[in-house]
Amino acid sequence: MSSSSNSSLATGPTVAVLNQKGGVGKTTVTLGLASAAWTAGVRTLVVDLDAQANATWALGVDPSTENWGTGDALAANATGAAGPMIVPSGWGDTIWLLPAAGDLTERETDVRRADPARRLAKALDGVASTFDLVLIDCAPSLGLNTQNALAAASQALLVVEPTIFGVRGVNPVVDLVEQVWESDNAALDLAGVILNRVPAVSSDAQLRQQELAKMVGSKAVWSPSIPQRVIVNQAHGERAPIHAFGRRAGELPGIFDALLAKLRRSLA
């Protein structure tokens, strides 16, 4: 996208992983990329914006014991507020977490408070730039908290399933990216679309991929896509990086390594 006249806060190496639909793999992609970063020694912050706190939990942190988190960072409306709320993940010292805690659901309705859509950008200002990568795992919504994620990010990454409903849901997300780019964040770019849960053989899935490429442009649909694999659920259940499963993880580590490399090129 070309630049516009709005003023952006510094976004750093920040990526919003989003879709309005739940269950499409936003958290799976966030954790898979974090796992690739873990292997590569890329210092990464995961920001959990979903009140379900699945990323927080899978990163080895119990959300119910956290005193502070993304809800508080949004409420603070203060530069750098996220800094002291960041905790180490259970994955080791390259992966850090801003946990989902602090009334995230209530923050969705803060539209009448001052500067409602730029609070996460403010909270991460001066903080995001101290990491090599910041991944924001969004809630399944196009509401205020997701707008905050987009205002804080330099790249928006959509996660989509190759189904008719998956493809139908893409346009409103792309529209929101455009809207936030215009109103709050001239540094925002649509990195692309990651296809998740792609079946091995399916003419319908192929047709949907072609439709998607027509909608967003074929370069915006990232390769490789992510297949449906049982190991994904096992890794979440064991709260461990998928790269820690060795050969049991099959081709998934290589896929997330390739996606991370592409993502980091888009941030450079």
Ligand X SMILES: Nc1ncnc2c1ncn2[C@@H]1O[C@H](COP(=O)(O)OP(=O)(O)O)[C@@H](O)[C@H]1O
The contact set with Mg ion (CB under 5 A) reads 26-27, 50, 54
Least distance from C-beta 110 to ligand X, angstroms?
A: 23
Q: Choose, by CB under 6 A, the member of 78, 171, 228, 238 that binds ligand X.
A: 228
Of 1, 6, 22, 165, the residue at the interface with ligand X (CB under 6 A) is: 22
Question: Does position 33 bind ligand X by CB under 6 A?
Answer: no
The stretch among 22-30, 172-180, 202-210, 215-223 that binds ligand X (CB under 6 A) is: 22-30
Tokens standing for residue 246: 């060795």
Q: Is 26 in the site for ligand X (CB under 6 A)?
A: yes
233: contact with ligand X by CB under 6 A = yes
155 part of the interface to ligand X, by CB under 6 A:
no
- For residues 237-256, which are near ligand X according to CB under 6 A? none
Does 56 participate in binding ligand X (rule CB under 6 A)?
Answer: no
Stretch that binds ligand X, among 2-10, 23-31, 37-45, 162-170 (CB under 6 A): 23-31
